[in-house]
Structure formats: C-alpha cells, structure tokens
Amino acid sequence: MTVRLWVLSDLHLDVYPLDLDPPEHDVAVIAGDVSERLCRHVLPWLADLRARTGKPVVYVPGNHDWWKGKYQPQLAEARELAPAAGVDLLVEGEVAVHAGVRFVGATLWTDWGLCPDQRARAMSDGADRTTGMHDVRKIQNRRGPGSYSAFLPVVTAQLHRDQRRRVEAALAVPYAGPTVVVTHHAPHERSLRGGEWQTPLDAAYASDLSAVLEGPHAPTLWVHGHVHESRDYRVGGTRVLSNPRGYVEVTPGTRGQPEQRKPENPDFDAALVVEV
Ligand SMILES: [Fe+2]
Ligand SMILES: [Fe+2]
C-alpha cells in the first residue's frame, strides 16, 4: 500500500498570506517556518488545516516559528496545545505513526560544522546581531529561572547534538514499514543554495548527516525546509525532498496597475504529493 504525503514548508504566512487548496492526500507533512509565533499563530492555523482536511498533520517547527518568543516556555505551551489542535508536533526526535508510515521529526538546527575548518568563523558570523542569523535576537533562550539571553549559535549547536542523537536513536529502532524523517534544517550540503557550501554562514542552513543517509538505518524519505529552493535528490538509501514556498516580494500597485507579487521560489508546488 502506498501512502500519499502532502509536503510543504516555509509558508511564511506572516510575510504574505496563502490560500491552500488541499490536494488528495493521506498525511500532511509540514517542515517548518509556517509563521512566527508558534502558539499564537502557527498551531491555530494547523488546527484549522487539520479540521478542513480531516487528515493527520505532521509538523516540525522551523526557526521562524520560534520567533518573538522564549524557546523553552513556548515549547512547553506548544506541547500542551498540539493534541487539542490535532497536530503531531515533532520537535526533538519524537515519533508518530500514520497509515503504517513512521515519522521521526526535529527542528534539527545545525552543528555549524558543514565546512569543519570554518566552524568557528561560521558561529561567529552567525552570532552577529546585524549580519548574522536573526534567530539570535528573535528568540530568547532560558539561562536560569526567569533569566533569558540571546539564542546564540552555541545554543543551536547543542540543540542539534541532542536532536540528532534522538533522531538516530529513533531510526535504530526496527520498523517494518517506511520511515520518513522531517526536519527544518537540511541534512546535506546539496540542499544549500547553489547546491554546495560557499560561505561560512551556509553552515546555519545544513549539517552533514551523510552518515545517517548512507547508514544501515537510513530512512526512505527525508523532508526538510529552511533553504528556500526546492530539492529532490538521493543520498545513499534516502530520497531528500524539500518544497519551500519562501517569501513573496511585493511591489505596491500604482494608479491603474495592480500589486505585483514575485515568489522567492518559483518551483514551489502548493499541491506536491509524494508516495512512500
Ligand atoms: Fe524559511
Ligand atoms: Fe527557516
């Protein structure tokens, strides 16, 4: 029996709205960056999608979904809200099973080590509050009771280590059917813009998980987001797939001329369904 997965990511609904017309599918797989404000905006939107389609929604938060919030309290609140929303919230290597397919999900973040001898430079560039990753100032990290600080690369590197370990542990558990890993950040250099490492900050988008993709517990499919270009390629035994919408560049209309909209990723397919 094949199972139809509706694969989406990086909708960025807070940047520009989107009306989805759900295709025929069995499970929706959403690999993060739906909108900022996970609990206030994202989970209600996913609950509405779940109610409209009547189909399971497997969702992994992207970095943007955590924006404008404190990471740890937001995660705790989201875990409480997700069951009532009918959403499988996978954040750090949790497992959900639908229609005989096993889903393992994590935001994943990165280890900043895609180009190992540039790791220190990548983390320093990523931490720059002006030219680095906006996550540093858009997400707050709990240091202790009531005490929060910037969401620095050293924090995401630790999250990556923990989440990767849990994803690998979940994959090592024998399972008879297909397994799909869902992450926001990418598992391989080929997912980067241009298809290869070019600058130290590229290490904020992907880590090298070739050992997992080529290992004995490789999943059938790995869905990710974060890089706003579509991807569909194979490494080892795994098909790596992304279908990000990305941003929409809007030029305001002038007298007699309508607003112009230019999608960042022209290859985005709002009705992409793949079978496993
Ligand atoms: Fe994104
Ligand atoms: Fe992202």
For 158, phi and psi rounded to 5 degrees?
A: -70, -40
| C-alpha separations of 220 from 26, 31, 89, 145, 276 in Å | 17, 16, 21, 42, 8
211, two tokens = 């050992």
Residue 82 pLDDT? 98
Question: What percent of the chain stands above pLDDT 70?
Answer: 100
CA 256 to ligand 2 centroid distance, Å: 36
Q: Domain boundaries in the chain?
A: 4-275
CA 244 to ligand 1 centroid distance, Å: 7
Residue 189 pLDDT? 98
CA 12 to ligand 1 centroid distance, Å: 7
Average pLDDT over residues 112-136: 95
CA 32 to ligand 2 centroid distance, Å: 7
Q: Give the ligand at the shortest distance from the Cα of 184.
A: 2
**At the topology level of CATH, where does 4-275 sit?**
Purple Acid Phosphatase; chain A, domain 2 (3.60.21)
Q: What is the DSSP string of 160-193?
A: HHHHHHHHHHHHHS--SS-EEEEESSBSSGGGSG
- Minimal CA–CA distance to 59: which of 6, 18, 134, 3? 6
Instruction: Look at 154-168, 216-230, 245-259 and tell me which has the smallest mean pLDDT.
Output: 245-259
pLDDT at 255 over 90: no
pLDDT at 126 over 90: yes
pLDDT at 274 over 90: yes
- Minimal CA–CA distance to 203: which of 131, 135, 122, 98? 122
pLDDT at 36 over 90: yes
Q: Where are the alpha helices (DSSP H) in 86-118?
A: none
Model confidence pLDDT, tens digit, residues 139-191 = 999 999 989 999 999 999 999 999 999 999 999 999 999 999 999 999 999 99
DSSP bridge pairs for 143 = none
Ligand 1 ion: residues within 5 Å (CB): 10, 33
